[in-house]
Structure 1
């Protein structure tokens, strides 16, 4: 290798765009693995605090892309288009070795399409749910990307069927979370009682999720507390902004309910808990890997739900059930999210043996534990080696 090539290798630029906290975690793991081969590489785009702690340069705040639902996206469309055009212009003028879009498919796939047309190699990390709805998106993905990195095994099978390049890398959460999570140790860390039943209230990481779910969560918690005065409630929050929103809604809807709010320790809170009342999303996979029973709730805005119900083809919407290919944990959708449904499901899981459920969780954990960040980094570098600049 010549000195010039060595210098180019060491100062390689990786462009990455993530849209939410789970993507920030994936991005941080990928950066750490890429830095082993390229210690002086530059990482730039849109990233969160975990990525920035590794030297990532974020051109916009990650929260710019944290929008959920069809109607909600329409309300922010002008700003989102501005951000995407700015990134397109920047990366066209300052070409990276590769662009990696992490999740945020409605934003990133369009960006990848534009950048690939400019001769920039593109990778999409975390498959969009094309196997669930809007299946024809796979043809746009094929045009937009040189490689899709899939976290889940059934996703690769879908891409293989359509002859779209895809690598199953496993899930970083399965690598990071131990096979057995120590409940007593987690409670000691958080200062929680060892001899009480603990229910975690987990209404999501987005403002819209909290506003839609917390009314029913608080009403359910009040009923449960009336039946078991020793029951303890904890609520992990992802940011100070969500803490403020949670506290404001609690003051309005359940001022007398005792809830310990804990910032930036979601996995520890889950490990400390006996059961989780949670929004849908990646957090449900975390819960399965931590081996805790849960009740999963999902509420769209009414218009988004009306549109989505004609498009979604899945029997289940949560990752534990999709991975198990059966109804492993209860799911409540839209109007089903109410105390009359939530309370008996929580009681069943709080006060009855869950060992059979844990066996299923163990199988999921083993299936996904593949050293994902290392596999993802290898796949990205393989894309570069196949198509040298």
Structure 2
């Protein structure tokens, strides 16, 4: 089977790699399109670098619009020539849905993996999804109901719940990362995109400086997805004269960093779900450009931005948004967790509840749903229902 596959960022790369591995376990497959490192390791061939799609926010996308449109146009032309059995777009809906729609009109079957956040804002995208894809694979159990009668939406679960060990040993993780000392360990995750680093790096470094004064024995660990984001963080350390901070900077190893931490400070996104599945208390920050933030305030239809709070339906995790995302605010929130073992225990107990909603062999279910669509596999009864 020949599969076109497109991922736009690190979380999509992880989902794609799991899906590819599960599909290959059932039937021989080849994959090409836009792949990140994990998908490439599973044999994916990339026509364009995934980093070219890794932008966030309305004004940020506008600055790269010409390049994004060119890549999408060239990719559509490529798939029209090569005619894969199915094309799978992973998340990145503003890029992938238009790609899928164009190919579907040409008779190529399409799958979209990860529902757009229609439950949060821009609900009209339900119609866009319905016009673009033959099957939608959702990560969360409440999502298919938004597409009832409009699109073939299948809940498959979230692969992170299968991949991440529950409550891993912090001591083991600290030994593996060579984090010595007895003071608190604080993980810093300012984001996986360059745009996020530009928005958050100074905030996180200033916060670390103040926490280091408050807790002289503290240690910090900061994982980065690539050299470019690490270089931006290092540049910020230099600008703020902060290279004397006890920060272990890592290329990758985000889950180890979370597991080693007493508290995780992170930018909103998939990392928040990872930290919850690892079972570590956290504080979430979220900064956007003024234009993007202004529009989001007008259109947002949910009370939270972090995935743990959205999935639990209550404000378990502190969220510091836009103007509230200051070093003083982040320090106070971190102190509120470091100084309050009961608060940390409440948060980790809620994360056990969250895990129960998501863990169900997600990659295998996603693979079965794709293969059943193209007629390469007969899906066993019940394989698409794992909410119970």
Mark yes or no: TM-score above 0.5.
yes
Alignment of 1:70-89 (within 5 A): 70-89=58-77
Tell me, yes or no, if the aligned pair for 2:57 and 2:289 is still in contact at 8 Å.
Answer: yes
Cα separation, 1, equivalents of 2:62 and 2:201? 24
* Residue 220 (structure 1) shift: 1.8
* Residue 193 (structure 1) shift: 2.2
Kindly indicate whether residue 360 of structure 2 is the aligned counterpart of residue 370 of structure 1.
yes
Pick aligned residue for 1:26 from 15, 18, 22: 15
Range moving further from structure 2, 119-128 or 231-240: 231-240
| Secondary structure at the counterpart of residue 235 of structure 1 | strand
Kindly indicate whether residue 226 of structure 2 is the aligned counterpart of residue 236 of structure 1.
no
Query: What is the match of residue 7 of structure 1?
Result: none
Cα separation, 2, equivalents of 1:383 and 1:16? 15
Which segments of 5 or more consecutive residues in structure 1 lack a partner in the other structure? 1-11
Kindly indicate whether residue 194 of structure 2 is the aligned counterpart of residue 204 of structure 1.
no
Query: What is the match of residue 281 of structure 1?
Result: 269
Q: What is the TM-score with the length of structure 2 in the denominator? A: 0.94
Kindly indicate whether residue 239 of structure 2 is the aligned counterpart of residue 252 of structure 1.
yes
Query: What is the match of residue 147 of structure 1?
Result: 135
Tell me, yes or no, if the aligned pair for 2:205 and 2:236 is still in contact at 8 Å.
Answer: no
Alignment of 1:167-178 (within 5 A): 167-178=154-165
* Residue 333 (structure 1) shift: 0.7
Pick aligned residue for 1:45 from 33, 36, 52: 33
| Secondary structure at the counterpart of residue 4 of structure 2 | strand
| Secondary structure at the counterpart of residue 269 of structure 1 | helix
Pick aligned residue for 2:57 from 65, 69, 82: 69
| Secondary structure at the counterpart of residue 130 of structure 1 | coil
Pick aligned residue for 2:372 from 367, 372, 382: 382
Which segments of 5 or more consecutive residues in structure 2 lack a partner in the other structure? 379-388
Cα separation, 1, equivalents of 2:264 and 2:241? 19
Cα separation, 2, equivalents of 1:280 and 1:264? 18
RMSD over aligned CA atoms reads 1.5
Query: What is the match of residue 4 of structure 1?
Result: none
Q: Deviations over 1:14-46 (max 9, x none)?
A: 10000011111111100001101223x211100
Cα separation, 1, equivalents of 2:217 and 2:157? 40
Tell me, yes or no, if the aligned pair for 1:180 and 1:291 is still in contact at 8 Å.
Answer: yes
Query: What is the match of residue 304 of structure 1?
Result: 292
Query: What is the match of residue 6 of structure 2?
Result: 17
* Residue 351 (structure 1) shift: 2.5
Pick aligned residue for 1:98 from 77, 80, 86: 86
Q: Deviations over 1:98-145 (max 9, x none)?
A: 110000100000000000000011100000111111101110110111
Moved over 4 A (4+): none
* Residue 180 (structure 1) shift: 2.2
* Residue 387 (structure 1) shift: 12
Cα separation, 1, equivalents of 2:214 and 2:167? 31
Pick aligned residue for 1:57 from 17, 21, 45: 45
| Secondary structure at the counterpart of residue 98 of structure 2 | helix
| Secondary structure at the counterpart of residue 299 of structure 2 | coil
Tell me, yes or no, if the aligned pair for 1:235 and 1:260 is still in contact at 8 Å.
Answer: yes
| Secondary structure at the counterpart of residue 130 of structure 2 | helix
* Residue 241 (structure 1) shift: 1.4
Q: What is the TM-score with the length of structure 1 in the denominator? A: 0.94
Aligned residues: 375
Kindly indicate whether residue 327 of structure 2 is the aligned counterpart of residue 335 of structure 1.
no
